[in-house]
Amino acid sequence: MNEELILLGKASSKMDAEIIKSYLEDNNIPVFLKSSTVPYGDGPYMGIGGPVEVWIPKSYVEDAIRLLQEIKGEDFYDTFER
């Protein structure tokens, strides 16, 4: 895939990021997660870890926002750290 990736937002934890990833992938949206604490450490090295960035291809942004708002409420995307 050569499409530009867009930072959809930051989940507060790895668990939240994995839930978001699973839901979006179930709806055919590719998702890439990246710890926002790298290169400073993550998970086993620094405790529970910090926020996790949720990246998706640019062409899926509108669909991803709509899906997240449907399950979490209209204001969810506004509170999703960007």
Span 7-17, pLDDT tens digits? 998 888 888 88
pLDDT, one tens digit per residue, over 6-63 is 999 888 888 888 989 999 999 999 999 998 766 554 555 455 667 889 999 999 999 9
- Domain range list for the chain: 5-74
Q: Using DSSP, state whether 9 is helix, strand or coil.
A: strand
Going across the sheet that includes 52-57, the strands are 5-11, 52-57, 32-35
Look up the CATH number of domain 5-74.
3.30.70
Q: Contact 29/66 with Cβ under 8 angstroms?
A: no
pLDDT of residue 74: 62
CA-CA distance, 74 to 14, in Å (whole number)?
23
Residue 54 is predicted with a pLDDT of 93
Residue 58: count of CB within 10 angstroms of its CB:
10
**Reported pTM:** 0.77
The yes-or-no verdict on residue 79 having pLDDT over 80 is no
